[in-house]
Chain A
Amino acid sequence: MGKYLKFFLVGIFFGIVLVKSEAVSWYRIFEMFKFQSFHMYGIIGTAVVSGVIILLISKKSQLKTTEGTYLRVPQKDKGYKRYIIGGSIFGLGWALCGACPGPMYILVGTGVFSMLIVIAAALLGTYAYGVFKDKLPH
Chain B
Amino acid sequence: MNYILDPWPWYVSGPCIALVMFLLLYFGRTFGMSSNLRTLCAIGGAGKRVKFFDMDWKGQKWNLTVVLGAIVGGMIAHHLLSNPININLSENTVNDLNALGFNNPGQSLLPPEFFSWDSVFTLKGMAILIVGGFLVGFGTRYAGGCTSGHAITGLSSLQLPSLVAVVGFFIGGLIMIHFIYPILF
Residues of A within 8 A of B (CB): 4, 6-34, 36-52, 54-55, 58, 63, 65-67, 69, 71-80, 82-102, 104-112, 114-115, 117-131, 133, 136
**Contact present for B170 and A67 (CB under 8 Å):** no
| Nearest residue, chain B, Cβ from A117 | B129
A–B pairs, 8, beta carbons within 8 Å: A76-B162, A83-B144, A85-B143, A89-B135, A95-B176, A111-B75, A120-B133, A127-B41
Number of A-B contacts (CB under 8 A): 506
Task: Provide the bound-state CA to CA distance between A43 and B68, in Å.
Answer: 23
B116: interface (CB < 8 Å): yes
Out of B36, B74, B128, B153, name the residue touching A96 (CB < 8 Å): B128
**Interface residues of B, CB < 8 Å — how many?**
125
In whole angstroms, how far apart are the Cα atoms of A69 and B71 in the complex? Answer: 30
Residues of chain B with a CB closer than 8 A to A11's CB? 65-73
B74 to chain A, nearest CB (A): 3
Residues in B whose Cβ lies below 8 Å from that of A126: 34, 37-38, 41, 137-138, 140-141
Q: Are A12 and B72 in contact (CB under 8 A)?
A: yes
Whether A73 and B153, one on each chain, are in contact in the complex, defined by CB atoms closer than 8 angstroms, is: yes
* Contact (Cβ within 8 A) B169 A8: no
Q: Give the complex CA separation of A95 and B131 in angstroms.
A: 11
Assembly CA distance A49 to B158 (angstroms) = 11
- Given A52-B156, A101-B33, the answer on whether A87 and B168 have CB atoms closer than 8 Å is yes
Contact A124 B137 (CB under 8 A): yes
Q: Mark B105-118, 1 if CB is under 8 A from A, else 0.
A: 11001110011110
In the complex, the answer to whether B18 meets A51 with C-beta atoms within 8 Å is yes
Cβ contacts B37-74/A at 8 Å (1 or 0 each) = 11011001010001111000000011101111111111
